[in-house]
Structure 1
């Protein structure tokens, strides 16, 4: 555990950092100002438990013996908290005496086929168009209708004479008038229904009914009242002081600072003695037990540090903190110097813009 830095330790560390070892007391007389900056890093993981009941069902005769049982109200049933509050888990229970297997209400495990409406067959789409006549003139006599075309005269015409290469039409029976590929149909024979216009339903295979899903075709359903106990981690953190000191200082202190740390595992654990009194109220508020909390892990780290300003060096603030091998110092530009540099940069940018505008 690191010892708290005294004012003498702090000023002497700044003196060594500025090339004046042994002159810490001189800095005090010169009006050096010390502002204590105790750092706090608190991280808490709470395991929060939720409970719920619901009706549950499974098809057929279902074995629930592997699930633990509870009696009465689920909220009163004891469940051990997790050993590791960062791990989620869910425990499923069954209300004792609630398990029963009942008839499903279907027709012995079957239900009417919804695809064919219990007919066992479906109307078939027309087969592919004939590649030879493309369905335009499958028969020069009936055009695939089975009856003589209305624009034909009884006496006939050269167009109505049988054409070479034609065959007998299967619809109107006229010889040598039909396309040899489709024989007057205008389409190839349908491979699905063999031109009957109907095909077997692919869902029920013509049986007109299918297996009832809710009971898996058993005709039975197992019902019970289920209870779920879920345990899930919720994370929170607290970093002090606020507003936070410069990022460079926080990063350096996090890497090389001699932090004091402790881990608490329950809401009743006492807070460590080394915490700064200014932080106690915020820490106690952050550690208030929340609703449903059954386990926790709290990691607390704290580091005593200070910010020092020296009258003869107004451009820097010296941040001092205990390191692993003694006090460490990090010099960071003061607000005064940062504003001055920002003003210079803004002036240069403005000058460049004016030059560009004139050119």
Structure 2
């Protein structure tokens, strides 16, 4: 009789169930009554550790302390500070704490206004600006006026309005000169003056400061306009989930049978939470000490404290069956969702014979080809 199942889920198979499943795969007339059954139970083990790391860090923000900081639980010693217990090994939450009397809000050098004197205008709100600018149309040259060259005195013989009517677009037509008063002689941009009033300062020579936009002050660079700076010491309790998979040795079924097992097998799961929980009984002899060592090994790492540990053991009852009346076949019996399933494979000896025969056949063909060529 096979071992009794110790975990949740599907149980071990009885010898009668195994022989009956194999009998259905044999040729008619063959019996599995004398079948030899050997257990090849497979096991997989995963250990999940939930560890904790505690550390302090200095924090700072511009302005008053955030509301979330004001609501933090206060502690005196981070190592002994009480935090909510983890709900499970999947609880990777981080708890933030506030060191007692570490929170301080310091006024800024700006006096708490959040503003500082503008360094460009030094608080004057305006800066120097040229009252007049060179004309873009004529460039302030003699082209400012065809009659007086922009000097205000008409030169004889230089310009006769009736002999030189304006040409081109209306925007480029010459106009009356503001200096010599000659009609149709001056640049339309500056009217013969050579320059135009500055629109930025309205020709006053003083324009609003571009840095502070005429306010005389700018946002304080030290406090970013908040007027103060808050500092505090924050304690952080961080939890990390680490999963380790045990590499347990196992004997594999050959090719096609192994594919069938991996595709259809129904594994059972046992979860061990407490350190004293017994291991499942359905284990290969070499698995038990390896599994026990693996689940009790320390894993958190330096600076971390283990909080919880869960061991998940998955098992598959697997049986290797040999039938005397079918010497060239071996059977692997295992539970599946559709009931007891059997994977059939060729024995190693049979596979070797077929391989040897194939090699001999190839050699004979080559020998014949060589004789024909000669």
Runs of 5+ consecutive residues of structure 2 not aligned to the other structure: 130-134, 167-172, 363-374
Q: Give TM-score scaled by structure 1 length.
A: 0.66
Q: CA deviation at 1:176?
A: 4.2
| Cα offsets for 1:281-307 (capped at 9, x unmatched) | 332344224223212333322122034
Runs of 5+ consecutive residues of structure 1 not aligned to the other structure: 29-33, 125-129, 348-359
Task: Give the Cα separation in 2 of the matches to 1:244 and 1:185.
Answer: 103
| Cα offsets for 1:19-42 (capped at 9, x unmatched) | 4587113454xxxxx653322233
**Candidates 19, 42, 61, aligned match of 1:39:** 42
Change (3 A) 1:43 1:200: farther
Q: Which residue of 1 aligns with 2:142?
A: 141
Q: Which residue of 2 aligns with 1:327?
A: 340
Q: CA deviation at 1:273?
A: 3.3
**Candidates 90, 97, 108, aligned match of 2:94:** 90
Change (3 A) 1:27 1:271: closer
Q: Which residue of 2 aligns with 1:250?
A: 262
> Does structure 2 conserve the Cα–Cα contact (< 8 Å) formed by 1:163 and 1:177?
no
SS of 2:174 mapped into structure 1: coil
Task: Give the Cα separation in 1 of the matches to 2:285 and 2:196.
Answer: 94
Task: Give the Cα separation in 2 of the matches to 1:43 and 1:285.
Answer: 13
What pairs up with 1:28-177 in 2 under 5 angstroms?
Answer: 28=36, 36-62=39-65, 64-72=69-77, 74-112=78-116, 116=120, 120=125, 135=136, 137=138, 141-142=142-143, 164=166, 165-167=173-175, 176-177=184-185
Task: Give the Cα separation in 1 of the matches to 2:202 and 2:224.
Answer: 35
What pairs up with 1:170-319 in 2 under 5 angstroms?
Answer: 176-180=184-188, 200=208, 204-212=212-220, 215=223, 217-238=225-246, 240-242=248-250, 246-253=258-265, 257=266, 259-287=267-295, 288-291=297-300, 292=304, 293-308=306-321, 312=326, 314=328, 317-319=330-332
